[in-house]
Amino acid sequence: MRAGTRKRMISIMAWGCTILVLLISIGSLVPKAAAQPDKYPKMAPIDQYLMERNAEIPLARSAAPDSISSDATVLILGRQGYETAVEGRNGWVCMVERGWMGMFDWPEFWNPKVRAADCLNPQAARSILPIADLRARMVMAGRSKAEIVSAIKAAFQNKQLPNLEGGAMAYMMSKSAYLTDEGDYAIETSH
């Protein structure tokens, strides 16, 4: 395969993945009629979502290879939302997402155990972080799912949130994350 053709195929695949993420995100804004009952019907006390800084930073970095995460910006969740714990130099951003970054009809949306280590490349950081920041600030302010959905829709309509960039991707390689209560996907954290 020629280099130009290969590059074009990789670009198409990356763009396709980005579109898939966007479709899943938009689809999650509209509740499904046959949605499963919420396993966690309401938000837990805020303290249950917070982590010790000295545990959250290495968990966030564990999402990507050291060659990337060692120079990445690291965000940690504070009482007002995400805040910068480590200023990076390579444009990547590592963080630990909580359940509320999942689909709005996910039964574990409010699960306080979810700790999804994620490291975003520069394109994803520019595209996804504003959404993550809005969601986190609203959750930490005690807003309901309906209020969060409404705010996100309004922010997209008013062009306050960016479009997804081509080439956006993330690593989620952590062996210390907790993604769900279901089956083999639950990986216990060490903290």
Residues 94, 73, 69, 104, Cα dihedral to 10°: 10
Please tell me the predicted confidence (pLDDT) of residue 39.
Answer: 85
Q: Write the single-letter amino acid at 60.
A: A
| H-type alpha helices, the chain | 3-27, 53-61, 66-69, 122-140, 145-157
Give the span between the Cα atoms of 49 and 37, in whole angstroms: 21
Q: How many Cβ atoms sit within 10 Å of the Cβ of residue 50? A: 16
Q: How many Cβ atoms sit within 10 Å of the Cβ of residue 115? A: 26
Give the span between the Cα atoms of 13 and 134, in whole angstroms: 28
Q: How many Cβ atoms sit within 10 Å of the Cβ of residue 142? A: 9
Distance between terminal CA atoms of the chain? 47
Tens of pLDDT, residue by residue, the chain (191 residues)? 555 544 444 444 444 444 434 434 444 444 444 456 778 999 999 999 999 999 999 999 999 999 999 999 999 999 999 999 999 999 999 999 999 999 999 999 999 999 999 999 999 999 999 999 999 999 999 999 999 999 999 999 999 999 989 999 999 999 999 999 986 544 443 33
Distances in Å between the Cα of 92 and the Cα atoms of 68, 69, 109, 169, 184 are: 7, 7, 26, 10, 28
What is the H or E stretch that residue 76 is in? strand 73-78
Q: Which residues contact 60 (CB under 8 A, 6 or more apart)?
A: 69, 74, 75, 76, 94, 95, 96, 117, 118, 119
pLDDT digits (tens, 9 = 90+) for 168-191: 999 999 999 999 998 654 444 333
Length of the chain as a residue count: 191
Please tell me the predicted confidence (pLDDT) of residue 5.
Answer: 45
Give the span between the Cα atoms of 170 and 189, in whole angstroms: 20
- Which tokens belong to 66? 């050291």
Give the span between the Cα atoms of 145 and 180, in whole angstroms: 19
